[in-house]
Amino acid sequence: MTADPRGPYRADNHEWLHATSKGRVLQLGPSKQINWISTSGNGSITPAGTRADSQDAMNGNAVAYDIGKLLTLGGATAYENVKATRRAYTVDLNGGGRPVSTRTGDLAYARAFANSVVMPDGKVAVFGGQSYPVPFSDATSAMTPEIWDPATGRFSRMAAMAVPRNYHSVANLLPDGRIFSGGGGLCGACATNHPDGAIFTPPYLLNADGTEKTRPQITGGVPARAANGTKLTITTDTAVTSFALVRTGAATHSNDNGQRRVPLTARQTDTRTYEVTVPADPGVALPGTYFLFALNSQGVPSKAKVLNVG
């Protein structure tokens, strides 16, 4: 558990949890210690190493950007009144043994109380946070969002926000591929309450001149519900190269344990017709509500269709 100076009640607040196969849950933060939690029988907890050279990262967060692959970023060694970190790590669960944690590129800005959102193309957008976390404060706010690219391991700065997004803020992917970022505060009548929000348009939707890119459309074949292992016959209005599920967001206290991106196995069966398979393992495609996106060869996503899995 994290060694917070205010004692056990602040230790490992807002845990980073990732449900996997066979009733196992990975706890990969905010303490530097990683643990497997088994839900079988009376349950058990098994140590699984540490996040490489990471320190405790209270009020950082983790997001599943691919099957068995997570990004952790930001946080601080205590809940508040200490410096946040710029460090980020990947955690890979696909090796069959202990999770493999590797340091990736650093954030441009140190952040705690930030929110992270996985996008249909597997990149991760990061909003808000403070370099010196203090609840109900706008001091030391990080006003510039960043996007992490798993292909390069680097963060890129985006257009600056107009309103700080810190403690109690949220960020969630929208079905049109844009991202809502809003809130913060909730401390009575104090000046740091922000009962508002903004919509961020990621670069994958924009041409160099700022106009909107032409997007593929899913024209049919997506039911309201599909069981794990179902094969879907999906049609589109133009050629696409990939499909992905992104589980709908439910962020709280900078953390969204349900969020995950699941790339789908697909093969073209006819002109603009594809057989797309929902993963059979409910530990991969966790039961719940997802956005289903089709992406073209330039990585431009369609507007999503809503699919309930399980």
Active-site residue numbers? 167
Strand partners, 266: 276
Residue 110: C-alpha distances to residues 123, 151, 186, 196 (Å): 19, 22, 23, 24
178-197 core/surface letters (b: 16 or more CB in 10 A; e: else) = ebbbbbbbeeeeeebebeeb
User: Residue 37 and residue 34: Cα distance in Å, rounded?
Assistant: 10
User: Residue 305 and residue 310: Cα distance in Å, rounded?
Assistant: 16
User: Residue 127 and residue 114: Cα distance in Å, rounded?
Assistant: 6
